[in-house]
C-alpha cells in the first residue's frame, strides 16, 4: 500500500487542467487521477501507470503534463 498524498501544488495544477477547455485528453486523465488521490488512500490503476509512464518517455508532452504523470506514478502500487 502507498501512503503518499498529492501535494497542494500538484492538486492545484490538476484542477487547473480539468477546468481548462484547451487541456488535452491525456492531461485531463492524469489530472483526474492526481485529484482522486488527494486526501484519500486511492492508488494509481495499472492502466494509468502505463499512460503516465508513456508520457514521461515521450518528448512530445509539456512540462505540466509530465509533472502530472510523475505525480500519478509516485502514487502507484510498488508491488506491480
Question: For 19-36, what is each residue's pLDDT tens digit?
Answer: 999 999 999 999 999 998
Q: Per-residue pLDDT for 78 more than 70?
A: no
CA distances from 62 to 5, 15, 24, 49, 58 (A): 23, 17, 11, 18, 10
State the greatest distance between any 2 C-alpha atoms of the chain, in Å, as a whole number.
36
Domain ranges for the chain, please list them.
8-74
Segment 41-56, tens digit of pLDDT: 777 888 999 999 999 9
Q: What single-letter DSSP state applies at residue 5?
A: -
Amino acid at each position: 500500500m502507498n501512503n503518499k498524498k498529492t501535494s497542494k501544488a500538484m492538486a492545484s495544477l490538476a484542477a487547473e487542467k480539468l477546468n481548462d477547455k484547451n487541456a488535452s485528453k491525456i492531461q485531463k486523465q492524469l489530472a483526474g487521477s492526481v485529484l482522486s488521490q488527494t486526501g484519500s488512500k486511492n492508488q494509481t490503476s495499472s492502466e494509468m501507470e502505463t499512460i503516465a509512464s508513456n508520457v514521461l518517455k515521450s518528448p512530445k508532452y509539456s512540462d505540466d503534463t509530465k509533472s502530472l504523470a510523475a505525480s500519478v506514478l509516485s502514487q502507484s502500487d510498488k508491488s506491480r
